[in-house]
A and B are shown apart, each in its own frame.
Chain A
Amino acid sequence: EVQLVESGGGLVKPGSSLKLSCVASGFTFSSYGMHWIRQAPKKGLEWIALIYYDSSNKFYSDSVKGRFTISRDNSKNTLYLEMNSLRSEDTAMYYCAKSFSGSVDYWGQGVMVTVSS
């Protein structure tokens, strides 16, 4: 059974940093691209980042480019999202998700990030 478990969220002040983790199990992590997708409270889904299976390519949405960094450690079956210069508009539930034929099939349960003074 595929499982994706995010952690690292919390309440932080504007301008601060936070690093999210996502531990994967139930599939060969090193063979699949991985995404981060977020959802602001009572809003729609926003794709924010993709990393290839071997970290050879990374892609970002314009809203986080230059502030967020996606990375992975295939030896630990773990995906990361390093978030810097956080803003109130980054407040959201953050989901890690497994790539499937270019789209996304499995999603984690999400981790909440709140940016507020």
Chain B
Amino acid sequence: DIVMTQSPFSLAVSEGEMVTINCKSSQSLLSSGNQKNYLAWYQQKPGQSPKLLIYYASTRQSGVPDRFIGSGSGTDFTLTISDVQAEDLADYYCLQHYSSPYTFGAGTKLELK
């Protein structure tokens, strides 16, 4: 199984700051067939279902603000949130869908400083 190591566990930020969340996979998520990385990022606010932010490592889902940026390839991936807003306070998860069983990172809690 592919293990997703997500860091940090939690992050305290002020509005307007930039934050980065990392996910490292135990094997490459890059498909040789289409050169896409099978990595997605999700945001989950308290009491809500998760919401897709980024797919194929760097493609923003429709309607997601451009302050959310996904990057990385192979085994190392990053979600960057520039100019953090109060509404961004949530849990964030990465998901590998390269091979079954799909696996999530442990999550990162973004809190206000």
Contacts and interface: CB of A to CB of B under 8 A. Distances in A.
B101 interface: yes
Contact of B40 (A60, A62, A104, A109): A104
B68 interface: no
A109 B49 contact: yes
Interface residues of A, number: 22
Given A59-B101, A60-B101, A105-B61, A45 B93 contact: yes
Residue of B51, B101, B107 with most chain A CB atoms under a 10 A cut-off? B101
B1 to A, nearest CB: 7
B57 to A, nearest CB: 10
Interface string A92-113: 0001000011111111111000
Given A62-B1, A104-B40, A44 B106 contact: yes
A47 interface: yes
Interface string B26-56: 0000000000001010101000011110011
Interface of A: 35, 44-47, 50, 59-62, 95, 100-110
Interface of B: 1, 38, 40, 42, 44, 49-52, 55-56, 61, 91, 93, 95, 97, 100-107
